[in-house]
């Protein structure tokens, strides 16, 4: 089977708290698989479009659990690497009463920081139509070089490239280092998924999400920008260089009873990729992506809550 989407980046363990509150006040946690690119890959599989997934986990109990879990969700294990000399990353998640979350990472020289260039062969990229990556692997180790090398080669292979900066301040020395590394990635990127704050950190500015998205397009090679806004929905702008019609779109999202927002942004990314690959226009892609994200907040955990296409279609119909 030829897979025409490749997702690259970290897979890790999220420890989800038993209740809302600061990390120092929470006594119990539940282990869940996570990592933004891993969530995107699983979400695509749940939407009936399983991609290839390139990641690196430790040859430890957590890594073996992740490898088994990803396979159970239908992802091929061809590019899921085991590192015998490094541990799997873990992150502790804390929630406030609205479900919004923060992360505390344990990621010093862990397996996902040790991705190496050249691991994706030329034929795989030739078979791919779409490659997606995120910003966490740019933050440390050889994974930065490996991610940038993959994006450069994917661009040369005429893949559509999407990217999520996924700014986690704890993983960066400062905002300037983040902007510099992500800027190196964006020269190869066609589609960017980001918050307004992330785009502003990258130098874009404006009075509204659509203005910020336009500024991000005008300032670089990216032709389509999605601005995610949590419970307020999302906006998107596509320029004349996009493979879909030029448009400016805002969508207010869907009202649901949110239980856990972990992974909702990754669900949005997968929904947008799936919709654009289905040939939907930008407005329909934003609506579909918002429906995927909203549905993903109605249960606990990042992967466990990811919806099927039927569940998303049901919300859109309602």
This prediction has a pTM of 0.95
pLDDT of residue 98: 52
* Domain count within the chain: 1
pLDDT of residue 257: 87
- Residue 143 sits in a domain whose CATH number is 3.40.1190.20
pLDDT of residue 28: 87
At residue 249, φ and ψ (nearest 5 deg) are -135, 140
pLDDT of residue 76: 96
Q: Give, for 215, the enclosing helix (H) or strand (E).
A: helix 209-218
In terms of Cβ atoms closer than 10 Å to its own Cβ (0-12, 13-18, 19+), residue 169 is exposed
Give yes or no for a contact between 267 and 292, defined as CB atoms under 8 angstroms apart.
Answer: yes
Q: What is the pLDDT along the chain (318 residues), one digit of tens a residue?
A: 667 999 999 999 989 887 877 888 888 888 999 999 999 999 999 999 899 999 999 999 999 999 999 999 999 999 999 999 999 999 998 866 555 567 889 999 999 999 999 999 999 999 999 999 999 999 999 999 999 999 999 999 999 999 999 999 999 999 999 999 999 999 999 999 999 999 999 999 999 999 999 999 997 889 999 999 988 999 999 999 999 999 999 999 998 888 878 789 999 999 999 999 999 999 999 999 999 999 999 887 778 889 999 999 999 988
pLDDT of residue 78: 96
| Domain enclosing residue 278, as ranges | 5-317
Eight-class DSSP state of 166: -
Give yes or no for a contact between 186 and 219, defined as CB atoms under 8 angstroms apart.
Answer: no
Which tens digit of pLDDT belongs to each residue from 223-243? 999 999 988 999 999 999 999
pLDDT of residue 101: 65
Give yes or no for a contact between 55 and 42, defined as CB atoms under 8 angstroms apart.
Answer: no
Give yes or no for a contact between 258 and 300, defined as CB atoms under 8 angstroms apart.
Answer: no
């Amino acid at each position: 089977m030829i897979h025409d989407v490749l997702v690259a980046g970290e897979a890790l363990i999220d420890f989800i708290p038993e209740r809302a509150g600061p990390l120092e006040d929470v006594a119990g946690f539940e282990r869940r698989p996570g990592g933004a690119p891993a969530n995107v890959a699983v979400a695509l599989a749940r939407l009936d479009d399983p991609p290839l997934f390139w990641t690196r986990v430790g040859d430890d109990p957590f890594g073996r659990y992740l490898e088994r879990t990803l396979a159970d969700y239908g992802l091929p294990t061809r590019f899921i690497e085991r590192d015998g000399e490094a541990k799997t990353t873990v992150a502790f998640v804390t929630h406030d009463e609205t479900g919004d979350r923060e992360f505390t990472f344990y990621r010093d020289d862990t397996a996902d920081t040790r991705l190496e260039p050249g691991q994706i062969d030329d034929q795989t990229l030739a078979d791919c139509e779409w490659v997606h990556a995120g910003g966490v692997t740019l933050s440390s180790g050889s994974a930065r070089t490996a991610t940038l090398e993959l994006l450069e080669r994917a661009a040369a292979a005429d893949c559509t490239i999407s990217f999520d900066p996924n700014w986690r301040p704890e993983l960066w020395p400062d905002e300037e280092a983040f902007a510099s590394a992500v800027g190196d990635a964006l020269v190869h990127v066609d589609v960017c998924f980001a918050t307004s704050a992330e785009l502003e950190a990258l130098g874009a500015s404006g009075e509204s999400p659509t203005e910020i998205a336009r500024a991000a397009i005008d300032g670089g090679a990216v032709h389509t920008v999605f601005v995610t806004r949590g419970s307020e929905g999302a906006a998107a702008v596509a320029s004349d260089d996009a493979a879909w019609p030029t448009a400016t779109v805002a969508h207010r999202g869907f009202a649901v009873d949110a239980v856990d927002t972990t992974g909702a942004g990754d669900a949005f990314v997968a929904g947008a990729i799936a919709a654009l690959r289905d040939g939907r226009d930008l407005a329909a892609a934003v609506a579909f992506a918002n429906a995927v994200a909203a549905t993903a907040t109605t249960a606990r955990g990042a992967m466990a809550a990811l919806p099927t296409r039927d569940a998303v279609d049901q919300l859109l119909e309602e």
